[in-house]
Structure 1
Amino acid sequence: MTLNVERLKMLDVHFSTSIEDRLNSVRGLDKEQGKIPDAIVFPRDEDEVLKVVELALEEHIPLVPRGGGVSSAGGIVMKKGGIMVDMRRMKGIQAGKGEVMVEAGSGYVFNARVYPTLWKHATVGGNFCGGSWGIGSMEYGLNWDQVLEVRMANPRGKMTTLRGGDVKVAAHAEGTTGIVTRLRLMTRESVPIVSKIIMFNGLEEAITFTRKLYEEVPPLYHMVLRSPEIAHLTLGPDKWHLVIAYQKGRDVEIQGEDGKVIWENRDKFFAGAYMENFNYFEYSTYHLPLESFGESLRKASSMGAISEVEFANDFKAHLDFMGTSDVMDKISAMMGKSSFDVNDVFINSRLSRDHIQKIMWYKRAYDKEDLFNPGKVKF
C-alpha cells in the first residue's frame, strides 16, 4: 500500500519525507542497499509510537525501527519501503539500585554490563534489537542476558511487556516482533576497569598463550586478541597483542604492559576499524571452538585478512575478518557458512534454534502480514 502522507500529518508526530532524510536514514554499515522509506517518523514517547503503529496497521504499511544505524547485520535494510521509526528522541533514563530503566533511543551513558564497540554511536534499543556480544561479554555474556524487562508496541497495536526468557522475542529480532520502546537492564557496579596488553613475537605464541589463559578462567571483564594489521588501521603495537580488562580488586595475576590508552580507545576495536574503512573492505565473523580457532586464524592471516578475535563466556573464539572482496571470497570459500552470518539479512542465520523459534512463534501469531521489518524472518 502507498503511504497516505495526509493521514500521517494528522497524527501530530514529527516526521520527514525529504529525499535527503530518507536516504540518510538507511545509510549504515550494511553493504546491501534496500529500498528507502516513504517517510521517517521521530516519536517522543510511547503514545506517539502507538499512533504510528495504528496507522501502519490500518494502511498496511511496513514499519522498520532505527536506532544509531551502526548495525552491520541488515537491521535497517528495508525490503519493502514503508515507514522508518527513528527512536533517538526517546532517550529518558531512570536509575535504580543495580539496574536502570532506559528508553530505546538512549545512548550508553550509564554503567552498562555489556555494550557494543560502537557504543558512542549506538542506542540501547538498537543494540538489543540488532546486536549480541560486545565489550563485557567475557564476564557477562550476551547483551540480552542483562535485560530484565522489555516494553514494546506489538503488531496488534498494543503495548506489551516481556520479562525473563520472553525478552528473546524481541532480542536481535530487529523489530520484526514489535517496536521496542523501553528496557530495564542490570548494571555493573561503579568499579574502575584495569587493562593490560600482552605482546607476542608471532601468531603461534599468541594463540597458545590466549587459549591457555582462557582455559584458566580468570575473572576477566573483556579479552580480545588483535593483529598488527588491525592496529595499523586504528591503534596498538605493531605485533600480535592481547588486550585484557578486569574490574579493579579482582584476583588477576597476569603480567603485561599498561593498557589504559588502548582501553580508553576501545571504540577503535574491530567494529570501529570497519566503520572507518567501510568503503574499502568487507567483513565476516565466525564463532569457533576454542581448541580449533587457531588453524582458521592462521589460514585467514596468510590470505591477507585483517583479523581480531574477541572472547566471551561461551567457550568460543569470535573471529572477525576484514579485507578486500577478493580476500573475503577466499575466506568464505575456506570457512563456509557462518553460524553468526552478518552478511545474511535473515536473522535465522545468527540465532540459536530455541531463540529463533520464540521469534517465529510470535511473528506467526501477531504479524501475519509481515509488516514489522518484513523479509527478515525465514519460515
Structure 2
Amino acid sequence: MSSIQQELVNIVGEDYASDRREELFTYSKDLGTSQPLWPEYVVAPKTTDELQAVVRLANETKTPIVPLGGGLTLAGLALPQKGGIIIDLKRMDKILEVNEQGRYIVVEAGISHGKITSYLKKNHPNLMHSEPGAPPAATVGGNLAIHGQGDLAHPYGFNTDMVNGLEVVLPTGDIARFGSCAVGSGWYTMHPLPDIGLFLGWNGATGIITKVSLKLYPCKKFRENNMFVVENEEFVPDVLFEISHLGMAEDLIATSSEIPPMMNRLHYISIINTGDSEEELEFKRHMTFDVQLAKYIRSGVGGIVSLYDERTRPQVSKSADWKKGGGFEYVGAIVPVSFYPECYRRGSEISGRHFIPYTVLGRVIGSCHSMMFSWSYAFNRADDATVKHARDALHETDELVMEINGTIWKPAIFGQKLMLERMDPGALRLMKEVKKILDPNGIMNPGNWEVD
C-alpha cells in the first residue's frame, strides 16, 4: 500500500479509499465520448473535516485532486486529466436546514437533486427547487460547478443565480464562507456583501463546494404541459417572447428531433403551466392561447398539439439516445433566443454529416434574456465508429458556437481552449492570478480552465 493510500485510509476508513484497479475503472470514464483517464486513488469523505484532511494531504504531496458529484456532466469535466485522487462527494448529502417562510434550503453539496425533490415533496409540499433536467443522481455541487440551469430557468435564471450562500474548502484545506452566512447572519442571501465569484462555473479548479443555500420557490398543486407547434423555425423566437411576456409559464422549452417522425422538421414548444386550482390553470391557458398566441393560431403559423397533466417534471436528458447503444453527449450553448433558427439549421446539418439523427433543444433562461441551446449526438458504445462520429460532431459544434458568437456551456477541454483563445486579455490575466493565489501547487482539477 502506498503512503498516500495509507493516509487516505487513515482519514476516511478502509471502506472509503481505494487504489484497486477494478474500482478505479469506474472513475476512469463518464457517459460521454471522452477517452478513459485513470486516477491513482479514489476517496469518499463523509464530513467536511475528512475532506479538509484529504485536500491538505494532496496539497502537501502535490497530488492532483478532482471533485466528483454525480458524474453526469458527459463532457469529461470530472475525469482526472493528470491522474491523482478522485474525491467522490456523494456521501456528503445531508439536508441541514429548510426555512419555509424564507424559502431556502441549506444542504451539503454532494446531495442529489432527486433527494431534495423527494424530501421537499414529503415534508414541504408547497416548496420546490430548480431541477437541472438531468437524472435524479445529479448533485447540487456538480451542477453549480458548471453554472447549471434547470426547470425554473424561466423566469428565475441559472441555478447559480439561486445561491444564497456557499461554504468552500480551498486548495489549502482551509474553509471559507460566502454570503450572509459569512457574518453569522444565517444562510438567506448573497447580498449585499462584496462579490467573490471564484467557485461557481470553475469545474472545481479553485475549490470544493461543501455546503450550499439554495432558493426555493412556490410549488403549485397542479402542473400541465401545453404543447404548441410551429413548422417554420423562424417563428420560434417570437412565440417564446410572447409566452415569456405573460410571465406565467414555469418552464419554457423549444425542441425538434428527427426521431420520432412526428417531430421531424417541426418545432414543439413545451409550456409548463401550474396552478393551485383548475380555475388558475384555465386562466393561464386562456391568456396563453386565446390572447397571447391567438394571432399565430388564426394565421395558421402554429397550433395547439396537446394539453395534458404533467405528473413529473421534465428531464431533457431523456431525449437523445436514439441509437439505443447507451450513449449520447451534447454541446450546450448560451445564446440569445433569436439564435434558435440558425442553431437548429446548422446543428441538423452537422448531425446529417455524421449520420446521427438530429436532436436540438432550447430552454429559455430568464424572461428571454438568453437560451440554453443544446445539440445532442447519440452513439453506440460498442461501435467505435459511432463514438468517433459523435466526438467529431461535438467538436464541430463547439466551433459553430464560437463562429455564431455564442458561449459554450459546460465546455469540455476542447471547448474550453476555444473560449480561452477568444477570452479578453484582462480576464485571462485575472483568471491566472486567481488560480495562482488560491492553488499555487496546481492540484485542483488540473487541465480545466488552464491559462498559460
- Matched AA of 1:378: E
Give the Cα–Cα distance (whole angstroms) in 2 for the partners of residues 149 and 192 of structure 1.
29
1:309 matched residue in structure 2: 362
Structure 1 residue 5 displacement after superposition = 1.8
Query: Aligned in 2, Cα 1:375/1:299: closer, same or farther, shift over 3 Å?
Result: closer
Question: If the length of structure 2 is used for normalisation, what is the TM-score?
Answer: 0.72
Quote the residue 1:374 is aligned against.
446
SS in 1 for 2:197: helix
Equivalence for 1:194: 223
Q: 1:356 to 1:68 in 2, by over 3 A?
A: farther
Matched residue SS, 1:33: coil
Cross-structure match for 1:161: 177
SS of 1:254 mapped into structure 2: helix
The aligned counterpart of 1:273 is: 319
Structure 1 residues 3 and 273, CA, compared in 2 at 3 Å: closer, same or farther? farther
Query: For the Cα contact (< 8 Å) 2:226–2:271, is it kept in 1?
Result: yes
Q: Which residue does the alignment assign to 1:105?
A: 110
TM-score, with normalisation over the residues of structure 1?
A: 0.85
Distance 1:52 1:230, change over 3 A: farther
From 136, 159, 162, the equivalent of 1:143 is: 159
Q: Structure 1's 328 and 368: CA in aligned 2 closer, same or farther, altered over 3 A?
A: closer
Identical counterparts, % of pairs: 21
Paired position in structure 2 for 1:245: 272
Return the match for 2:307 from 236, 245, 258.
258
Q: Shift of the alpha carbon at 1:218?
A: 2.7
Aligned-residue RMSD, C-alpha: 3.3
Q: Tell me what 2:207 maps to.
A: 178
Give the C-alpha shift of residue 160 in structure 1: 1.0
Query: 113, 118, 127: which is aligned to 2:143?
Result: 127
Native 8 Å contact 1:65 1:76 kept in 2: yes
For 2:434 and 2:376, locate their aligned partners in 1 and report how far apart those are by CA, in whole Å: 35
Change over 3 Å in CA distance of 1:355–1:134 after alignment to 2: farther
Among candidates 408, 421, 446, match of residue 340 of structure 1: 408
* Matched-pair contact (CA < 8 Å) for 2:229–2:268: yes
Q: Is the 8 A contact 1:227 1:308 kept in 2?
A: yes
SS in 1 for 2:167: strand
Matches of 2:363 and 2:80, distance apart in 1: 30
Higher mean C-alpha displacement, 97-106 vs 311-320? 311-320
SS in 2 for 1:22: helix
Query: In the TM superposition, what whole-angstrom CA distance separates every residue of 1:328-347 from its partner, at most 9, and x where no partner exists?
Result: 57656655455115453275
SS of 1:127's equivalent in the other structure is helix
1:96 paired with 2:85, answer no
Against the structure 1 CA distance between its residues 166 and 330, is the aligned structure 2 distance closer, same or farther, given a 3 Å change threshold? closer
Higher helix share: 2
In 2, distance between residues paired with 1:206 and 1:200?
10
- Three-state SS of the structure 2 residue aligned to 1:266 is coil
| SS of residue matched to 1:102 | strand
Deviating more after overlay: 7-16 vs 212-221: 212-221
User: 1:328, 1:296 → 2: CA distance?
Assistant: 14
1:297 match: secondary structure: helix
**CA deviation vs aligned residue, 1:353-379 (integer Å, no higher than 9, x gap):** 799887654322120121011121232
Matched length: 372
Question: Measured at CA, do residues 287 and 157 of structure 1 come closer, stay the same or move farther in structure 2, by a change above 3 Å?
Answer: closer
Change over 3 Å in CA distance of 1:362–1:247 after alignment to 2:
farther
- 1:322 equivalent to 2:376? Answer yes
**Greater Cα offset, 27-36 or 128-137:** 27-36
Do the aligned partners of 1:139 and 1:312 also contact (CA within 8 Å) in 2? yes
Which ranges in structure 1 are unaligned for 5 or more consecutive residues? none
